[in-house]
Structure 1
Amino acid sequence: MNRVLVTGGVRCGKSSHAEGLLRGLEGVAYVTPGYPADPTTDAEWAARVARHRLARPADWTTVETVDVAAALREASGPTLVDCVGTWMTRQLDAVGWDTPRPEATALIEERIADLAAAVAAHPGPIVMVTNEVGWGVVSEHASGRLFADLLGRANQALGAVVDDVVLMVAGRAVRL
């Protein structure tokens, strides 16, 4: 296993499976593409993040950053990114959810290409977790459609540079 993309729906076991792929390896960098959890603004989310950290091996390092490509370029050992859907949310936060679609798409597609290049160049094992958003209803909101379109493009770009793609369904892994 060198580069793996783990995908699936909400609460299907993606993160657990991804962590299991790296268990036993020392010095894993766990990259979380978001902002640090703040218990004053979202106590439930902060508690969830704390539980996840406690469940990880003690020698794993958590890296909280929106610039995942840079974090991958800095990491030389085993790395887990959880998750690309959160990364995409942060990209849209940065460009503005109401930015006209062509401009937002162009900016974020550059970032998708940069992320895929960083994954391809990563020297150690890497596991990326992402979401499948295209299996449900098409959003009535332009922002929801933009998110789904861009995350789908990111998933395709990452799928093209990894060695294996795993689809999680009801806690079971299906290798694609």
Structure 2
Amino acid sequence: MMILVTGGVRSGKSRHAEALLSDARQVTYLAPGRPADGSDPDWDARVAGHRTRRPAHWQTVETADVAAAVRDADGAVLVDCLGTWLTAVLDRNNLWDKGSREVHDAVDARLTALCAALTARREAVVVVTNEVGLGVVPSHRSGVLFRDLLGTANQRVAAVCDEVHLVIAGRVLKI
């Protein structure tokens, strides 16, 4: 079973995703965002909150190479989240200021690898993402680029999932 959990920031999607795997004997939690490093207290607090909620027997892997980590993981997999993965891809490959075609091609290649890794899994997979495009239109190129790329990533990952769950205000809609 593969499930994409989407919703707005602070909607409860991570808690829901974690609950979906609460009975799994072995879980690899893939955190593609930057680790807590003391440079941003708000980010560090968010990472700490996620860490304390996870059961002690879950293995945490912090990496931007999510496709490889999915392939190498044992047991069920939880990826939290595609938004931080996309940010890492853009940051690590210096893509924010590149031309549109170069950015889309680079992200598409990594997204193709990620979808292939996800579909090859036999164990349960839950992927968390942020739903984009429901709010304010970004006023900067980087915001528009991120919104458009994440919207595409969400569609591509949803296409290989068995279910999509939309979390709004802590409530879950299976779509």
Same fold (TM over 0.5): yes
Residue in 2 that maps onto 1:31: 30
- Alignment partners' CA distance in 1, 2:32 and 2:170: 23
The TM-score normalised by the length of structure 1 is 0.95
**Where do 4+ consecutive residues of structure 1 move more than 4 Å?**
none
Residue in 2 that maps onto 1:90: 88
- The structure 1 residue matched to 2:50, chosen from 36, 49, 52, is 52
**Structure 1 contact 76–123 (Cα < 8 Å) conserved:** no
Residue in 2 that maps onto 1:123: 122
**Structure 2 contact 35–47 (Cα < 8 Å) conserved:** no
Unaligned segments of structure 2, at least 5 residues = none
RMSD: 1.1
The TM-score normalised by the length of structure 2 is 0.95
User: How far does the alpha carbon of each residue in 1:16-56 deviate from its partner, in whole angstroms, 9 at most, with x for none?
Assistant: 000000002112101000232102x1233223322321221
- Alignment partners' CA distance in 1, 2:132 and 2:110: 19
- Alignment partners' CA distance in 2, 1:111 and 1:51: 29
- Alignment partners' CA distance in 1, 2:134 and 2:48: 30
SS of structure 2 residue aligned to 1:104: helix
Residue in 1 that maps onto 2:14: 15
One-letter code aligned to 1:161: V
- Alignment partners' CA distance in 2, 1:44 and 1:152: 25
How much has 1:142 moved relative to structure 2?
A: 1.3
- Alignment partners' CA distance in 1, 2:28 and 2:150: 23
After the TM superposition, which of the residue ranges 122-131 and 93-102 deviates more from structure 2? 93-102
**Structure 1 contact 76–122 (Cα < 8 Å) conserved:** no
SS of structure 1 residue aligned to 2:26: coil
- Alignment partners' CA distance in 2, 1:47 and 1:151: 24
User: How far does the alpha carbon of each residue in 1:120-144 deviate from its partner, in whole angstroms, 9 at most, with x for none?
Assistant: 1112100000011111222121111
Unaligned segments of structure 1, at least 5 residues = none
Residue in 1 that maps onto 2:101: 102
SS of structure 2 residue aligned to 1:6: strand
